[in-house]
Amino acid sequence: MHPYVYPLGLALLLAGPAYAQLSQQTANHAGRTQEIAAPITLNNAIALALANNPELSAAQRELEAVDATVAQAGARPNPELSTLMEDTRKSTRTTTIQLNQPIEFGGKRDARIGAAERSRDAARIKLAIRRDEIRIAATSAFFAVLTAQERRRLAQESADLARSAADATGRRVTAGKISPVEETRARVAAASARLELNQADGELDLSRRRLAGLWGNTQPRFTLAEGSAAQLPPLPAIADIAERSADAPQLRLARLEVERRQALSKIESSKRIPDATLSLGRKRDEEAGRSMWVVGVSMPLPFFDNNRGNLEEALRRTDKARDELAAAETRVRNDIAQAYEKLRNAHAEVAVLHSDILPGAQSAYAAAGKGFELGKFNFLEVLDAQRTLFQARSQYLRAISDAHLASAELERLLGSPASNQ
């Protein structure tokens, strides 16, 4: 045999599992849908997140696992086959073969199934909650990208305006109309605007990464988020919020936990009733030369252990679940009220900024710039008007962002209509 054949064969053998694992990892990664290198819409972002988010997949696996526990809870006890031999001598040997079947009393099987079904219902609600959270997170992250894009556009515009003002100031200094100190101030303002532009670029990159991370992509491929950042989420009616808050997902989960604890209490209560074991077999007596049927019933006597401690624990945990439900009702209602108030305030702030503050700041800056070119205003007045305009624009974008965040929080607390079915 060639001296290199054995090492080569061993290397191929060892590389087989590694290659298979690498192929599986590649297949798993390839199975995820990635966005195309094009503008992305809100619906596309939500669809990608729901289809590829690993946390949502984990919640789905948990539901599948709990489904298996429901099937197991309905299983009945297995029969037992036993053999007993008395005496080792063949002439006087007695051999007994019997089948023992445990019989459950006290509704133990129904109690197990009930508790398992409540756990399955809880897993379904958690999956629905997680799906809502992913959908809302995708919506919030998408509008965060839109806001960052708009902030970056405004920062670019501000940088261009500051550069133009600095150039105009330089020309007036050259003409001897103003002091060189004014040009220095203009150059400082232009440098600050460039710094804000760099910060806006960084915020846009982070927001794009957060959005793409929802579907497991660490390097965003989409070019931009397609939509309007100024599109405010609707302000729901108070009556609609009151109706939906009574059936909020967190409250449904807390109520279901009470039911699950009650089902577990039934299991512990049923254990106080002992189970019986029926025995049926055949006994062969070699010395007498005959066979006999063996029938028996056995049942433990609960003199020392009647499961009182476990039952008391289950009852107290049921009381605890009721207390947690009461606390959840108060907490959820307060959180809903706070989220609604934040959304209402954001709507009011955006309306005032859009109708009064932004137009006034824009008009003041335009007038200051025109007056500066005509020699009627000094550069400090232009710089002050420019700063006021930039602050108004930043406040406007912040108010829009706050509105989207408050709306996302409100929807998370209330749950989507599909999850409340």
Backbone φ, ψ for residue 332 (5° rounding): -65, -40
pLDDT of res. 183: 77
Q: Quick check: 136 and 49 in contact, CB under 8 A? A: no
| Bridge partner residues of 276 (DSSP) | 103
Closest by CA to 63, choosing from 16, 120, 134, is 120
CA gap 115, 3 in Å, rounded: 65
CA gap 352, 361 in Å, rounded: 13
Instruction: Give the pair of three-digit tokens for residue 36.
Output: 């195309």
DSSP states along 167-234: HHHHHHHHTTSS-HHHHHHHHHHHHHHHHHHHHHHHHHHHHHHHHHHTTT-SS---S-B-S-TT-PPP
Q: H/E element holding 34?
A: none
Helix count (H) and strand count (E) of the chain? 10, 4
CA gap 340, 331 in Å, rounded: 14
Distances (CA, A) of 393 to 154, 230, 233, 362: 8, 12, 19, 10
What architecture does CATH give domain 41-414? Up-down Bundle (1.20)
CA gap 162, 196 in Å, rounded: 12
Q: What is the pLDDT along the chain (421 residues), one digit of tens a residue?
A: 444 444 444 444 444 444 344 334 433 444 556 778 889 988 899 899 999 988 888 889 999 999 999 999 999 999 999 999 998 888 889 999 999 999 999 899 999 999 999 999 999 999 988 998 898 888 889 988 988 898 888 888 878 877 877 787 788 778 777 778 877 877 887 888 889 889 999 999 999 999 999 998 888 989 888 887 777 888 999 889 988 888 899 999 999 999 999 999 999 999 888 999 999 999 998 888 899 999 999 999 888 888 899 999 999 999 999 999 999 999 999 999 999 999 999 999 999 998 889 899 888 888 887 887 676 776 667 777 877 888 888 888 888 888 888 888 898 899 876 555 5
CA gap 97, 114 in Å, rounded: 37
Domain boundaries, the chain: 41-414
